[in-house]
Amino acid sequence: LVTGTLPVHTELEQEIARHKGYPAALLFGSGYLANLGVITALAGRDDHVFADRLIHASLIDAIRLSGATLHRFAHNDLDDVANRLRAAPATGRRLIVSESVFSMDGDLAPLDGLAALAEEHDAMLMIDEAHATGVFGPAGRGLIADAALQSRVNISMCTLSKALGGYGGAVACSPLMRDWLVNKARSFIYTTALPPGVCAAARAALLLLDRQ
């Protein structure tokens, strides 16, 4: 926060935001740190997180660390999500968490349905696109972009590894959400920024995707 952000970091964040179709983005040291930082910044002891049973271990760890009440719904089961949202206490914040592409089985989340439930039950929606980025959607922008759901998904997480061939993590979001994370996400505040060379490589990978 003091001297760690260089022009190359800002340029990469702008490229990620543009690529994902969001107005802003924030870099993290890894995808694991991104998930950890976002969830602990958005949820606490009085809050409720509704998570697909097959989400990545980093998301589970983040929810546990946040202290929020975890409601695990049956995999890709919108009826179960709805039932758990209705049954949960009407107190605190609500956050729905899923992956868009599940790494072990390769199946896809019902993003439209999750977005509709989030709106109906006044919940935020976070989607992990680690395995969709660079693979699905126009120019590899992911399944959120493929379904034009950017305005309905609050947080779109991606990694700079996997399809992009580098290292690091990022979230695409609104400018207000980015400001919140800069001030609240401990895995962003209290760790070292990505090396400039890593940022330049990730930016080059995004530009290559745009040519596909």
Active-site positions read 103, 131, 162
Contacts of 96 (CB under 8 A, 6+ apart): 49, 50, 51, 81, 114, 117, 118, 123, 124, 125, 126
26's enclosing H/E stretch is strand 24-28
Residue 199: helix, strand or coil by DSSP?
helix
- Copy the structure tokens of residue 112: 């439209």
Nearest of 163, 208, 158 to residue 32 by alpha carbon: 158
Contacts of 45 (CB under 8 A, 6+ apart): 67, 68
DSSP 193: P
Q: How many CB atoms lie within 10 A of CB 208?
A: 14
**CA-CA distance, 124 to 157, in Å (whole number)?**
14
